[in-house]
Structure 1
Amino acid sequence: MIRNLIYILFFIPLFLTAQKEKYNIREGNKAYDKGSFSEAETQYREALNKNNTSPQAAFNLGNALYKQGKYDEANTFYQQHKEAKLNDTEKAKSYHNLGNTFFKKKQFKESIDAYKQSLRLNPDDEDTRYNLALSQKMLQQQQNNNQENKENKENKEQNKNDKKEDNKKENNDNNQNENKEQNKNKKEQQPQSNKMNKQDAQRLLEAANNEEKNVQEKVNREKVKVSTGKIEKDW
């Protein structure tokens, strides 16, 4: 009798705690159905405070957080849910929702892995199969966009370098033209060379010949003049 009484006293608090946990889960479900996800989150957290190993409270809390866009936090509770002692169908739900959180964060490789794991546990889930195909398509598109962005960046950098080279070449051409112009102006400012053309040379030559002829004639005249005077012998 006393032993039975001890058992009753021991299990009564556990029973009451379990009842309070279920109460919070039910209240959370009501708020969730109304779209009051913040209130639902509060109720599910309260349920986990009373039983931190409750897979139902963890899963539902993950859903409430997911609906509020708190994907990282939701991920944490889906992870907790899948680690509990569950059948394959229940674990498949955890992996499915994990895939959804990764998808929302555009982590498509991770979402693909999660959906594949969900299908291994529950191959007949068409929603998961659809999400898997969509994730694979989005991953391909993401990779194509990344490649395109990379090529655009490289082309932009190449165009920038080409423009620098063009500007450098243009500056060099301008400098060369400027130097040519300066040399031209400098040459024009310098005195003309003393180099004479053929006609000038011919005139100078004729003038020299005439001068020589005049000198010769003068010399000849002087000789004649001398010869008309007294002849003096050499000693």
Structure 2
Amino acid sequence: MIKTFSYIVFSLFLLLSADSDARKGNEAYAKGNYAEAEQLYRAAIDQDPENAKLYFNLGNALAKQGKTEEAIQTYLEYRGLVETPEEKSLAEYNIGTTLAETEKWKPASLHFRNSLRLNPRDTEAKTNYELALSKMESEDEQQQQQNQEQDNIEPSEYAKAMKAQAEKLVELQRYQEAYDLMNEAMKVDETVNAFKDFIQRTKDVADINS
């Protein structure tokens, strides 16, 4: 069976009175009204800024809305307020899964690993860590293949002509002009990239002379 990433730990902390903003936030969250829940959790935090569990709930509401950056920042605030390794591991786990859902495999694997270090018994964190590593390796292999394909690209006649003209400019020590010529040519013909080493060397010399 193919394994997939576990869902973010969206268990909510329920410990305030029924008429509080936090409780109303939980109710809104349970109904799928995540934007409303976000606003209610923020209101609750304004009243009780040291309550770590409010930040955790807010992070969940943000993550559900696809507000990745804000969610990560909020989980980190929660992590900074809690004491136990198990609590801190929840923040790391949620950050990892949030990143995995946006296919940011390298940072996701880092946070899953952090979660495991804090709570080695968390089997879901272990599974997700292994999957993130696998995705990261696959992504690296694809990138290497793409780089090889670019290296093996066959320049067009136009690209060759531009290269010949640029070489003449280099002989005259007009390096910036040579670089500009190749750079402009690359915008209209991607096969000019076959001469990327020549282009880079030309740019390096032009930068030195400027």
TM-score by length of 2: 0.64
Question: 3-state SS of the aligned residue for 2:103?
Answer: coil
- 1:160 corresponds to: 155
Residues 18 and 24 in structure 2, CA contact (< 8 A), matched pair in contact too: no
Cα distance, 1:30 vs structure 2? 0.9
- Larger gyration radius, structure 1 or structure 2: 1
1:29-68 to 2 correspondences below 5 Å:
29-68=26-65
Cα distance, 1:42 vs structure 2? 0.9
Q: Percent identity?
A: 30
What is the distance in 2 between the residues matched to 1:162 and 1:137? 41
Can you list the C-alpha shifts for 1:53-90, whole angstroms capped at 9, x where unaligned? Answer: 22111111101000111000000000001111321211
Greater relative contact order (CA < 8 Å, ≥ 6 in sequence): 2
Question: 3-state SS of the aligned residue for 2:81?
Answer: coil
Cα distance, 1:34 vs structure 2? 1.0
- 1:74 corresponds to: 71
Cα distance, 1:146 vs structure 2? 1.1
Residues 61 and 77 in structure 1, CA contact (< 8 A), matched pair in contact too: yes
What is the root-mean-square deviation of aligned Cα atoms in Å? 2.5
What is the distance in 1 between the residues matched to 2:142 and 2:32? 36
The structure whose residues are more often helix, as a share, is: 1
Residues 112 and 135 in structure 1, CA contact (< 8 A), matched pair in contact too: yes
Question: 3-state SS of the aligned residue for 1:86?
Answer: coil
Q: CA, structure 1 residues 19+97, in 2 after alignment: closer, same or farther (shift >3 Å)?
A: closer
What is the distance in 2 between the residues matched to 1:96 and 1:165? 52
Q: How many residues align structurally?
A: 148
Question: 3-state SS of the aligned residue for 1:110?
Answer: helix
What is the distance in 1 between the residues matched to 2:126 and 2:18? 34
Q: Residue type matched to 1:66 in 2? A: A
- 1:124 corresponds to: 121
- 1:169 corresponds to: none
Cα distance, 1:163 vs structure 2? 7.6
Q: CA, structure 1 residues 164+71, in 2 after alignment: closer, same or farther (shift >3 Å)?
A: closer
TM-score by length of 1: 0.57
**What stretches of structure 1 of length at least 5 have no aligned partner?**
1-17, 167-235
Cα distance, 1:145 vs structure 2? 1.3
**What stretches of structure 2 of length at least 5 have no aligned partner?**
1-14, 162-210
Q: CA, structure 1 residues 147+100, in 2 after alignment: closer, same or farther (shift >3 Å)?
A: same
Residues 55 and 75 in structure 2, CA contact (< 8 A), matched pair in contact too: yes
- 1:103 corresponds to: 100
Residues 27 and 43 in structure 1, CA contact (< 8 A), matched pair in contact too: yes
Q: CA, structure 1 residues 44+164, in 2 after alignment: closer, same or farther (shift >3 Å)?
A: closer
Runs of 4+ deviating beyond 3 Å? 18-22, 161-166
Residues 16 and 23 in structure 2, CA contact (< 8 A), matched pair in contact too: no
Q: Residue type matched to 2:52 in 1? A: P
Question: 3-state SS of the aligned residue for 1:160?
Answer: coil
- 1:93 corresponds to: 90
Q: Residue type matched to 1:160 in 2? A: P
Cα distance, 1:113 vs structure 2? 1.4
Q: Residue type matched to 2:104 in 1? A: Q
Q: Residue type matched to 1:152 in 2? A: E
- 1:231 corresponds to: none
What is the distance in 2 between the residues matched to 1:64 and 1:155? 47
